[in-house]
């Protein structure tokens, strides 16, 4: 169960983001406003991180672990540490509530 896709439908409608969740009855579309705080935060940070990684800029995040799932937090950190994902060497400066966030520089979370 969980998010299996995020799409932005095109056409005459206004900008609208829709998530696809896998549930007991298959895959169902769920609008952005019906998502959890963590899912909305992941989308926001993901879009901003993509821009920073593309341009080599510095991204500052206060309390990175406040509303993101620990695995999503770790994967975001790993993206900035990856030479393949971060060729122009963008920087991530993050403050976390918990000291263990980002503490394992060689953690492989590619799967």
Please give the Cα distance from 94 to 45 (Å, whole number): 12
* Cβ atoms of 18 and 32 closer than 8 Å: yes
Q: Which residue has the higher pLDDT, 19 or 106?
A: 19
**Is the pLDDT reported for residue 106 higher than 60?**
no
Asked if 86 contacts 55 with a C-beta cutoff of 8 angstroms, the reply is no
The mean of the pLDDT values for the chain is 79
What residue ranges do the domains of the chain occupy?
Answer: 1-35, 36-111
- For residues 73 and 62, the answer to whether their CB atoms sit within 8 Å is no
Which pLDDT score is estimated for 71? Answer: 86
Which position has the higher pLDDT, 110 or 63? 63
pLDDT-based confidence at 35, cuts 50/70/90?
Answer: confident
Does pLDDT of 111 surpass 70? no
pLDDT of residue 96: 79
Mean pLDDT of 62-67: 81
Window from 6-15, 38-47, 50-59 with minimum mean pLDDT: 6-15
Return the pLDDT at 91.
93
User: Which one has a higher pLDDT value, 105 or 59?
Assistant: 59
């Amino acid at each position: 169960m969980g998010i299996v896709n995020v799409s932005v439908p095109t056409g005459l409608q206004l900008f609208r983001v829709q998530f696809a969740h896998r549930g007991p009855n298959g895959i169902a579309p769920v609008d952005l406003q019906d998502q959890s705080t963590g899912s909305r935060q992941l989308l926001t940070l993901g879009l901003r991180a993509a821009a920073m990684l593309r341009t080599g800029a510095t991204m500052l995040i206060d309390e990175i672990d406040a509303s993101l799932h620990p695995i999503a937090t770790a994967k975001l950190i790993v993206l900035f540490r990856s030479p393949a994902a971060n060729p122009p060497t963008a920087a991530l400066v993050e403050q976390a509530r918990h000291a263990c966030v980002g503490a394992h520089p060689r953690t492989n979370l590619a799967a």
